[in-house]
Amino acid sequence: MNLPEKAERKSKRFQYIKLCIFLSGLSVFAQLYLFQPLLPLVADHFHTTVGDSSLLVSSSTIGMAAGLFFFAFNADSYSRKGLMAFSLIFSALLTIISAWIPSLTILIGIGILKGFVISGVSAVALAYLTEEVHTSVVALAISMYLSGNTIGGMSGRILATILAGEFGWQKAVLIIGIESLILGLVFWKLFPGSQFFNPQKVDYHLKLKQMKRFLTDSYMLKLYCIAALLMGAFVSVYNYLTFRLEAAPFSLNHFYIAFIFLMYTFGVFGTMITSRLSKRTDQKNILKGSILFMIAGILLLLSENIYIVIFGLGLFTLSFFAAHTMASQMTALRAKDGKSSATSMYWLFYYFGSSILGSGTGYLLHGTSWTFFITFLIVAILIAYSLTYQKSRIRRKIS
């Protein structure tokens, strides 16, 4: 009897995995941040404030965090492919339904549910890749997933803005929902099922033990905190750079500011560069270098020259996604067992960082200045850099 082999670069199985894992990332993040550029239109439609309408964005990330906590315990009891396909298709249906909801409160509730459902993809995607893909191409497969995240986040925001300008925000939501549904159906049809994983009955005692082990493992805990700090800094920049560019000395109009999300393209290069470097460079050094380049990029955002700011934002974005790719890869490889729990907790910290720092720094900026705001973020990134220092004996354990 021939035992199955893990998917290698030239195999048909790997090509399907690579394509579908990219499409899953595309769908997840196109939907997750769909309402971010639509908030003024939604506020006007429901005759409410932009602050109230912003709950449409935070509701999805809150639902995502809650879902990741749930799946940290339960992900291993479901089929990897089944869970991801269900998450993609059902979340797309919720997005489609959102186009006809007459109440902002109900829309926010749907956002929480959608975030919870869609977290099923993030909870097991990295675990699936490390289980099913040959070690030599794990980094490439993870970079494809994260590239899908990047392009999905970027295209979802830009496409929503353009469609809403032409047809209104409800039709924009409907069109993106339909596109996400198509992506989910393609995923369900083409994504290879697991060969090295079988669903297991949930052992909550074991899960708690695994989570305690990850949280008391200084290596894993530092990676989790690095993810929270870097994501918090990244979201803060993209949340509030708009206000900086609207004001003097830039005074840009909304049409041009909307296209700052094109800078997410640099994130794709960040994941690709990390994938290539990880084959011949120490993982910890890649992570350190990426964080240092993040600091260099964010420092340029202090400039009053628009071209320097654009260059700095590109460097900052590329470096963040390089660091995020490396940290998530190190997390998945470190976890010998309980991979889904380990990666779910990584995403849990990631989104908590997004919510806490991403919101908190807004109040900081309102009460101080852009210079103080950037200085605070640099301190947060420097703390993340300090966490990359680890005893060599721990690093050798994962090599």
Tokens of 19: 């394509």
Decide: pTM greater than 0.85: no
Task: Tell me what pLDDT residue 340 has.
Answer: 65
User: What pLDDT, in 10s, does the model give residues 271-285?
Assistant: 788 877 877 788 888
Taking CA atoms, 207 is separated from 99, 196, 226, 246, 351, in Å, by 38, 20, 23, 48, 21
Pairwise pLDDT comparison (397 vs 62), residue with the higher score: 62
Task: Tell me what pLDDT residue 294 has.
Answer: 96
Q: Worst-scoring range by mean pLDDT, 22-31, 191-200, 369-378?
A: 191-200
Task: Tell me what pLDDT residue 184 has.
Answer: 95
Annotate 79-139 with DSSP letters as a single string: -HHHHHHHHHHHHHHHHHHHTT---HHHHHHHHHHHHHHHHHHHHHHHHHHHHHB-GGGHH
Pairwise pLDDT comparison (324 vs 153), residue with the higher score: 324
Among candidate residues 398, 355, 330, the one with its CA nearest the CA of residue 126 = 330
Task: Tell me what pLDDT residue 36 has.
Answer: 72
Q: Worst-scoring range by mean pLDDT, 59-73, 337-351, 358-372?
A: 337-351
Among candidate residues 283, 381, 375, 270, the one with its CA nearest the CA of residue 329 = 283
Is the pLDDT confidence value at 69 over 90? no
Task: Report the percentage of the chain scoring pLDDT > 90.
Answer: 33
User: What pLDDT, in 10s, does the model give residues 112-154?
Assistant: 999 999 999 988 888 888 888 888 888 888 888 877 877 888 8
**Can you tell me the mean pLDDT for 95-115?**
93
Task: Tell me what pLDDT residue 391 has.
Answer: 52
Is the pLDDT confidence value at 177 over 90? yes
Q: Which CATH architecture has domain 8-195?
A: Up-down Bundle (1.20)
User: What pLDDT, in 10s, does the model give residues 224-246?
Assistant: 999 999 998 998 888 778 778 87
Task: Tell me what pLDDT residue 387 has.
Answer: 93
Is the pLDDT confidence value at 398 over 60? no
Task: Tell me what pLDDT residue 98 has.
Answer: 94
390 pLDDT band (50/70/90 cuts)?
low
DSSP 78: S
Task: Tell me what pLDDT residue 182 has.
Answer: 96
Tokens of 109: 């509730």
Tokens of 62: 């809150």
Task: Tell me what pLDDT residue 173 has.
Answer: 93
In a 10 Å sphere around its CB, with 0-12 CB exposed, 13-18 middle and 19+ buried, how is residue 59 labelled? buried
**Can you tell me the mean pLDDT for 365-370?**
84
**Can you tell me the mean pLDDT for 204-231?**
85
Return the bridge partners of 200, or none: none
Mean pLDDT of the residues in the chain = 84
Domain 8-195 and domain 203-399, same fold? Reply is: yes
User: What pLDDT, in 10s, does the model give residues 153-162?
Assistant: 888 878 887 7
Domain ranges of the chain: 8-195, 203-399
Task: Report the percentage of the chain scoring pLDDT > 70.
Answer: 92
**Can you tell me the mean pLDDT for 293-298?**
97
Task: Tell me what pLDDT residue 264 has.
Answer: 79
Task: Tell me what pLDDT residue 53 has.
Answer: 66
Supply the CATH classification number for the domain 203-399.
1.20.1250.20
Residues 6+ apart with CB under 8 A from 371: 302
**Can you tell me the mean pLDDT for 329-334?**
82
Orientation angle between helical segments 12-32 and 80-98, nearest 10 degrees: 30
Pairwise pLDDT comparison (384 vs 253), residue with the higher score: 384
Is the pLDDT confidence value at 178 over 70? yes
Radius of gyration of the chain (CA): 20
381 pLDDT band (50/70/90 cuts)?
very high
**Can you tell me the mean pLDDT for 282-295?**
92
